[in-house]
Every structure is written in C-alpha cells, then in structure tokens.
Amino acid sequence: MSAAVSATGIRTGTPSLPARWAGDGWTVTKRNLIKIKRSPDMIIFAVLQPIMFVLLFSQVYGGSIAVAGTDYTQFLMAGIFAQTVVFGSTFSGSAMAQDLKEGIIDRFRTLPMSPSAVLIGRTNADLALNGISMLIMMGTGLLVGWRVNSTPGRFLAALALLLLFSYAFSWVMALLGMTVRSPETINNASFMILFPITFISNAFVQSSNLPGPLQTFADWNPVSALVQAVRELFGNLGSAPVPDTWPMQNAVATVLIGSAVMLVVFVPLAVRKFESISSR
Amino acid sequence: MSFSPQSAPLISAEGLTKVYSSKSGPVHALDGLDIAVPEGTVTALLGPNGAGKTTAVKVLTTLIRPDSGTAVIDGINVLTDPKAVRRVIGVSGQYSAVDENLTGIENLDMVGHLYHLPARRAKERAIELIDMFELSDAGNRPVKGYSGGMRRRLDLAGALVNQPRVLFLDEPTTGLDPRSRIALWGVITDLVARGTTLLLTTQYLEEADQLADKVAVIDEGKVIAEGTSDDLKAQIGGHRVAVALHRQEDADEALSILGRHGSGDPHVSGDGRTLEVAVVDGPAALQRILSELEAGSIELHDAGIRRPTLDDVFLQLTGKPAEEDSETEKEEAHR
C-alpha cells in the first residue's frame, strides 16, 4: 500500500482497508469506554436501572400479576433483559447528537480515518454498557429467585440474541441522533418510542391480558419477539399458549431476521449520513 | 514530497458556491468565491459573521460539498479525493473539537491513531505537542477542567499531530482574552516560519495584519478586496482621526478641515458632533488637524487617533457597516 511522507518526515502509513476499519473502530471504541468510565451518571444508569426494575417488578407487582404455569419472577426476567438492552441502545442517539453539538465530529471528519469508525466505536460502547447491565441483572435476578431452566448453550444463545438485537437497534438510534441533532430532543423522542415498544409487549404481562388493539400490537411487536425468544431459551415460559402470530411462533427467527434487516438498512444509511454532517 | 515552485498555489478554489435554505429564503453562503494561497504563505479571510468564512473553510477541509466550483489542495481535488486531502491538512475550527472526558494527552493520542501513526509514535507526538503548547501540567487531566485558552491550544495541537503542510484555522482567537490571543499568535507565527501554508479566518483586522501575508476581505460569500495588509490599509487609510466638537455649529467648518487632511471623505457620527476621517499618517495628521481647528477657534471635547477596524474596512469597501443586524448604525453611517 502507499505510504505518504509528510513534509517534515512523519510516515503516515495507509493500512489496508479492513485493518483500518477495525483499527479506527477500536480507537473510537476506546475513547467511548474511557468516557463511560469517567461519567458516573452512565454507569449508574447501566447498573442501577436493571437492579431497580428487577426489584420493583418482582417485589411490587410479583404478588399481583399471575402467570399461568410459572411464577412472575421467572416470567419477568426475559422482559427486563429485553427492555434494559433496548433502552441501553439509545445512548448512541444522544451521544452522536452530543458529539455533533460539541464539534468533535468535525475533527473526526477531517482525519483520514474510516468513515464508519465513529459509528462502530459508538455502537460498540453501547454493547459494552449493555453487557455490564446484563451481568448486573443476572446477579439481581438470581437473588430474587430467578432460575434458568435450560442448557448453558441455550442460555448463552439468549444473551447473544439480546446483544445482537440491541447492537442493531443502536445503529437506528445513531442515525436518528445525527438527524435530530439535539441531544435533548433525541432523549425525549427516544422515550416516546421506547415506552410503547417495551411496555405494549409481552415483557411484563402476558399479551393475552391486553385489550384488543394493544394485544395485536404486542403480538406483532419486535420487542415481544425478542422477549419471547429469550424466554424460550431461558426456559422461563409459562403454560399459556404462544400467541398465534408469525413473529411470536418463530421468535428466534424473527429476532435474527429483524436484527439483520436493521443492520443492512441502517449501517449504510448511518455511514452515509455521517459522511455529510458537520456541526452547526 | 512535492517540489512545486514557490508561486504555485497550495490551496486554490475557484467559483465556489453554496446555498443554504433558511426560513427567510435561500442564503448564499458562498457566491463565487475564489482563493489562491501560495506555498509557505499565510492568507487571511477577513469578514464579519455570516460572510461565508466558515463555509469556505468547511468546503476546503472536506466537511461540506459546494454546489459548484472547484477546490484543489496540494494538487489534490478536494471534491473527488477528500480522503487524500485529509492526509495533508490540519484543521482547527471555531469550536474546540476536543473530547471533554479525555485528558489532553488522550485526545492527541487518539488523533495520532486515527492518522495511523504507530502506537508509540502517536503517544510521543501527543506529549511533544502538549509540551509545545505549554499544557504539560494539565496533560493528564480531563479537558473538562481546561480554560477556554487551553482548549483552543489543545485543539490547535490536534490540527498539528500529522505535521500538516497545509493548515486551516477558523477564527483561532475569537473569544480569547488578549493575553491568550497574543500567545496563540506567537505559536502560529512559529509554525509559519517553519514553512506551513496557512489559511485563517478572522473578524479582526489587527489579527490579519499580524499574521497574514495576504488578506482577502469577504462579504456575502465572495472576495470584495484582496491584497497585502499594507495594500488594504492604503486603500482604507492607515489610521482614523476622530474629534468631538463642543458646539454643533462648528461641524461644517471642522468637516472641511478634516476633509483636507484625510485620505477619504470624513463622516459625522450619530450625535452630530463627532467627526472622523481616514488619514495616511496618523500622528502627523492629528497634529495638523488640531492646529487648524485651533486656528479656527473650534473648541473640542476630545480628539484622538485609532487603528482601523473591520467596520472601517467594510464601510470603505461596501458603504455599510460590518454588523448586519444593526440597522441604526447603518442609518447613522449614511447620514
């Protein structure tokens, strides 16, 4: 590959494309991990939110919500896992908007780096934060009596599905963040999306208990498919019949296809958007 | 390394246009802008807010695409090969593009990695620059705690990681206190002495005068005057002599005295008693004007000379003041 020598003699090698892609992505990932380490509010969110939700739902609602064939805590955990990682993905939206506002995107865009690196670094950081949240949730869940009733392989597959779905969703949020451009707006906007898609689902109650239109929404909601898939793989399903919609009947496939579609559509869109944005 | 002749422009742009849509209709941010900066020289784009300076820098540094026109840097077409351009330029924008949560050294180290310097070299270069910009004490602290001047220096350091041949500085000292401004001028002068080709934008005539070999005055997206700082000053007059009259009745007579000694037409400010004129030789002209006013027994409140500002340049070149939003000033200037 070519190697340019600048006027004053520093060699700036041009690594091959995949090496640059990975290297630049890792450089920006490291930047975001340092940021996480130094912003206590993000860690608190990642650690306390799952603890709070697990305790709140299992202890407060656990006694009042009946689930056929299992106790509420077993039923609940897949829902909380899904909700937490989906919420965690939204950091990419506000972080991209924040970087744009602070002008550092302009710095990145004038460097000879891979145009996808900032987005890869951003979405990787969400993945790391979600990984931490999941560990905390597992610990809290075990404390309140949650047990996995399947094989280690199926358990790991469930965690992988959660991370895959949330990673793909991070790219959607990153594009949204670059489009909306205001960190405050994106925070408000993402809650308007997150609350319906996580609460009008099977995450906290069986969808059969929901009134007509909400039930239909819940049974087609991709977050429901994620919850359903994770619940199956954890071995935490109750005895109630699985709703008769394709996504719910084929939950794992739905999550895999849905994640792939999000990645195929939103990765190129987000990279293209990144190549044309500038602060102000 | 290229061995282009001294006179070949390292930065050149022709006929750049860029139109933004806004609520009040289309805004011509660039309207046929031409720029040529020869190797090893400094050109300042001088203009008020909204003149198109930042847009011009953003086009040249690959951040935005113009609607039409061409831009070439070090022989590389900015529009067709932005990645190659990014390897030879350094950019420091109007807003410090540094990460608040990283330390000064971490910021520069990251930039070094993104230029694909070997890891050890990136770290070395970061420390070199931190020392060069006198940030050694703060180098291991997060940028959050830096002052405005420190951030600017760090941002400028970020532009130099790759020892670029071509440097772009967008309003490098706007918002800095006078001491930090002078310190930054020193750093920039050093860089230029080592052969860096520089395009900078500024709202301050004094800054252009200090740093630039050539000044291009821009207004509404195009160059309206161009030349050395001396050319420009000759055109607009070196200094301004201003006198404040005790009696307004003396205005006509005083105006004709100022007119005889000035290099341009004198004008009267809002209260009708303050007269001002551009002069070639400030102190001598002030003395002559004062002695003639005294001979005509015209009493004064105040008198003095001052350096011309961007406002004077604009008044001279366009007949309107630099600040677009001050309608009253405009009326006063024409009175």
pLDDT in tens, B134-158: 899 999 999 999 998 899 999 999 9
- Indicate whether A31 belongs to any domain: no
Q: How far apart are CA A254 and CA A246, in angstroms?
A: 8
What DSSP element (H or E) covers A76? helix A72-88
Is the predicted pLDDT of residue B328 greater than 50, yes or no?
no
ipTM: 0.86
In a domain, A33, yes or no: no
CA distance B7 to A123: 47
Q: What is the pLDDT of residue B333?
A: 34
Mean pLDDT in residue range A20-31: 90
Task: Look at residue A34 and tell me if it is in a domain.
Answer: no
Which domain does A147 fall in, by range?
40-278
**Any domain includes A126:** yes
Kindly state the average pLDDT of the residues B38-55.
92
Residues of A within 8 A of B119 (CB-CB) are none
Contact status, residue A35 vs residue B102, Cβ threshold 8 Å: yes
Query: Which range among A29-33, A90-94, B118-122 shows the weakest confidence by mean pLDDT?
Result: A90-94
For residue A16, is it within any domain?
no
Mutate to test the interface with A, among B105, B113, B191, B198 (most CBs of A within 10 A): B113
The arithmetic mean of pLDDT across residues B248-273, rounded, is 81
Q: pTM higher than 0.95 for the full model?
A: no
- DSSP assignment of A256-268: HHHHHHHHHHHHH
Inside any domain, residue A13? no
The answer to whether residue A40 neighbours chain B at the CB level (below 8 Å) is no
Between A280 and A137, the more confident residue is A137
Helix, strand, coil percentages for chain A (3-state, nearest 5): 75, 5, 25
Length, in residues, of chain A: 280
Q: Write the CA distances from A254 to A227, A251, A258, B195, B296, integer angstroms.
A: 11, 5, 6, 60, 95
Please judge whether B101 and A34 are an interchain contact, meaning their C-beta atoms are less than 8 angstroms apart: yes
Over residues B45-55, mean pLDDT: 90
Question: Residue B252 in 3-state DSSP?
Answer: helix
Q: What is the pLDDT of residues B95-138, one digit of tens each?
A: 778 999 999 999 999 999 999 999 999 999 999 999 999 899 99
**What's residue A226's pLDDT?**
97
CA distance B126 to chain A (A): 13
How far from B321 is each of A154, A165, B267, B326, CA to CA, in Å?
A: 73, 57, 13, 8
Residue B211: C-alpha distances to residues B6, B44, B48, B173, B201 (Å): 19, 8, 18, 12, 11
Q: List CB contacts (< 8 A) between B96 and chain A.
A: 103
Kindly tell me if the per-residue pLDDT of A272 is higher than 70.
yes
**Chain length of chain B:** 335
What number is the average pLDDT over the span B22-44? Answer: 92
Tell whether A32 is covered by a domain. Answer: no
pLDDT level of residue A112 (50, 70, 90 thresholds): very high
CB-based contact B101 A103, cutoff 8 Å: no
A28 in a structural domain: no
Q: Is the pLDDT of residue B69 over 70?
A: yes
Contacts (Cβ under 8 Å, ≥6 apart) of B163: A6, A7, A8, A9, A10
Work out how many domains chain A is built from and give that number: 1
Q: Which amino acid is at A102?
A: E
CB within 8 Å: A103 and B97 = yes
pLDDT given at position A75: 92
| Beta carbons of B58 and A109 less than 8 Å apart | no
Quick check: helix, strand or coil at residue A11?
Answer: strand
Q: Is the pLDDT of residue B23 over 70?
A: yes
* Residue A10 touches partner B, C-beta closer than 8 Å: yes
Say which range, A116-120, B229-233, B240-244, has the weakest mean pLDDT.
B229-233
Three-class secondary structure of residue A240 per DSSP: coil
Residue B67 has pLDDT above 50, yes or no: yes
| Least-confidence region, from B20-29, B239-248, B320-329 | B320-329
Residue B195 confidence (pLDDT) above 60: yes
Smallest CA-to-CA distance from A225 within A253, A194, A190, A192 is with A253
Tell me the average pLDDT across A105-128: 94
